[in-house]
Amino acid sequence: MINTKVILKSRPKRLIENNNFDIVTEPLADLQPNEVLVQIEAISLDPAMRGWMDEGTTYIKGVSIGAVMRSFSAGKVIRSKNDMFKEGEYVSGLLGAQQYSISNGENLTKLNISKGKVSLHLGILGMPGMTAYFGLLEKGTPKKEDVIYISGAAGIVGSTVGQIAKIKGCTVIGSAGSDEKCQYLLNECGFDKVINYKTEDIDEKLKEYAPEGIHIYYDNVGGPTLDIALANLAKGARVVICGAISQYNNMNNIYGPKNYMKIVTARGHLTGIIVFDYAEDWPNAINEISNWINEKKIFAKEHLIHGLEKFPESLKMLYTGENFGKLVLMV
Ligand SMILES: NC(=O)c1ccc[n+]([C@@H]2O[C@H](COP(=O)([O-])OP(=O)(O)OC[C@H]3O[C@@H](n4cnc5c(N)ncnc54)[C@H](OP(=O)(O)O)[C@@H]3O)[C@@H](O)[C@H]2O)c1
C-alpha cells in the first residue's frame, strides 16, 4: 500500500510558507505484532502547530525536519495485530498529517462515532473542546452572574468556553475579527455582547459592557489584548492563559503584559492550562458536552477542507483569521 504524507521540509522564520512542507508518497511498512493500521479520515489543524514547526520552544518537542507533520488525526482501524483494537473501530491520536498511520496503540483514543461524526472528535469532542471545558471549569471557576470576557471567541475553544459559561449562568462577552464572526457569536452561540477587535476599541467596549469589571478573562490571543483585559479586572478575577495566537509567529520577541500589577490590586489569579493534564477526565467531559449538543445548548461550527494537498494553505488560515469554525482537513 502507498501512503501519502505531509512532511516538514524547513522551519518557518516567521510566517508559515507553503514550501515549509512537502507532500511525499512511499510504500507502507508491514504491520508488526501489536500494531494497528489506521486509515485517516480527518486531520485537525490547530494553532499550536506553528510552535511544533520550531525546534522545540513549546511544551512539546518540535517536529524533526523530514518527519511527518504532527497532528491530531482521526480515522478507522483497517488492520489490527493489537488485541485492544478491532478492525472497523474509529480512533484518534497524534497520528500525523498523512493518509495512513501505523500505531502501537499507545495514546490512541477509541471514538464513539454515535456521539458525533469523526471531525467533531477533533473539535468540540476532542482536544479543543476539552481545552475549553477544563480551562473554564477548572481554572476559570465560573460562578453564576460572573462576567467573562473571551478573546479569540469565534474559534472552537473560545465559542465553546462562551457557551459553557452561559450554561453556568455567566454574562459572556467575546471578541473576534469580523462582523460575521461577531454575529455568529450573538445569534448562534448566545453570547451577550461582542466586540469586533479590528473595528472597535476593546477597552472602551469592556468599560461599557462590564462597568464593574470582568471576573474571568479567558485568553486565546495574548499580546496587547491581555493588557487591556488586565486593566479591566474585577476584584478576585481569574485570568486563564490558554493561548496567545497573536504571538505565535514571533515567539522570540513575544509581547509581555505591562498591566500585570492589576493582578495585585484585583487580588486576582493568573493561571495557565495545558489540556493534556486532564486526559483521564476527558471521557466524562465528552459525555457532558455530547449531552449539551443533543439538548441544543451548545453548537460547534466546523470549517472543513478536502484534500491532503491543501494542508499548507489551510494551516495558514488560522493565523490570518480566514478560518471560521474548527478547521479540519478531510482526507
Ligand atoms: N493550552 C492548551 O492546552 C490549548 C489547547 C488547544 C488550544 N489552545 C489555544 O487556544 C486558542 C484557540 O484555539 P482554536 O483551536 O479555537 O483556534 P482558533 O480560534 O480557530 O484560531 C484561529 C483564530 O485565531 C484568531 N487570530 C489569528 N491571529 C490573530 C491575532 N494576531 N490576533 C487576534 N486573533 C487572531 C483568528 O480569529 P479572528 O478572525 O477572530 O481574528 C483565527 O480565525 C489558541 O491560542 C490555541 O493555541 C490551547
Task: Say what percent of the chain tops pLDDT 90.
Answer: 95
Let me know whether 132 and 119 are in one domain. no
Residue 11 in domain: yes
Let me know whether 135 and 117 are in one domain. no
pLDDT value, residue 252: 85
How many folded domains does the chain comprise?
A: 2
Residue 229 in domain: yes
Residue 289 in domain: no
Q: What is the pLDDT of residues 30-82, one digit of tens each?
A: 999 999 999 999 999 999 999 999 987 666 789 999 999 999 999 999 999 99
Let me know whether 194 and 264 are in one domain. yes
Residue 254 in domain: yes
Give the Å distance between the CA of 243 and the centre of ligand 1: 7
For the CA of 198, the nearest atom of ligand 1:
41
The 3-state secondary structure of 236-266, one letter per residue = EEEEEECCCHHHHHHHHHCCCCCCCCHHHHC
Q: What is the pLDDT of residues 239-281, one digit of tens each?
A: 999 999 999 998 889 999 999 999 999 999 999 999 999 999 9
Q: What is the pLDDT of residues 100-113, one digit of tens each?
A: 999 999 989 999 88
Tell the residue nearest (CA) to atom 20 of ligand 1.
155
Task: State how far the Cα of 102 lies from the Cα of 108, in Å rounded to an integer.
Answer: 11
Question: Is 274 strand, coil or helix?
Answer: coil
Give ∠ CA 12-18-20 in degrees, rounded to 5: 40
Tell the residue nearest (CA) to atom 36 of ligand 1.
321
Residue 283 in domain: no
Let me know whether 249 and 195 are in one domain. yes
Crossing angle for the helix pair 282-294 and 156-167, nearest 10 degrees?
70
CATH number of the domain where residue 29 is located: 3.90.180.10
Give the residue, out of 220, 249, 326, with the most ligand 1 atoms within 8 A of its beta carbon, to mutate for a pocket test. Answer: 220
Let me know whether 268 and 181 are in one domain. yes
Tell the residue nearest (CA) to atom 43 of ligand 1.
321
Let me know whether 133 and 260 are in one domain. yes
Residue 324 in domain: yes
Q: Which sign does the torsion angle of CA 111, 162, 191, 321 carry?
A: negative
pTM beyond 0.95: the answer is: yes
Let me know whether 268 and 141 are in one domain. yes
Q: 293 phi and psi, to 5 degrees?
A: -65, -45
Let me know whether 15 and 116 are in one domain. yes
Let me know whether 59 and 109 are in one domain. yes
For 29, the grid coordinates are: 511498512
Tell the residue nearest (CA) to atom 6 of ligand 1.
128
Q: How far is CA 234 from CA 109, 146, 175, 195, 272, in A?
A: 40, 10, 18, 19, 19
Let me know whether 87 and 106 are in one domain. yes
For the CA of 47, the nearest atom of ligand 1:
47
Residue 292 in domain: no
Q: How far is CA 96 from the centre of its chain?
A: 16
Any residues with Cβ below 6 Å from ligand 1, and which? 46-48, 127-128, 131, 152, 154-158, 176-178, 181, 220-221, 242-243, 245-246, 273-275, 318-319, 321, 323
pLDDT at position 163 over 70: yes
- CA-based max dimension of the chain: 64
Give the Å distance between the CA of 181 and the centre of ligand 1: 13
CATH number of the domain where residue 180 is located: 3.40.50.720
Q: What is the pLDDT of residues 185-215, one digit of tens each?
A: 999 999 999 999 999 999 999 999 999 999 9
Task: Report the Cα–Cα distance between both ends of the chain, in Å, rounded.
Answer: 16
Instruction: Determine the structural domain holding residue 85 and report its residue range.
Output: 2-123+300-330
pLDDT value, residue 57: 62
Residue 210 in domain: yes
Let me know whether 119 and 144 are in one domain. no
Give the Å distance between the CA of 26 and the centre of ligand 1: 34
Let me know whether 252 and 151 are in one domain. yes
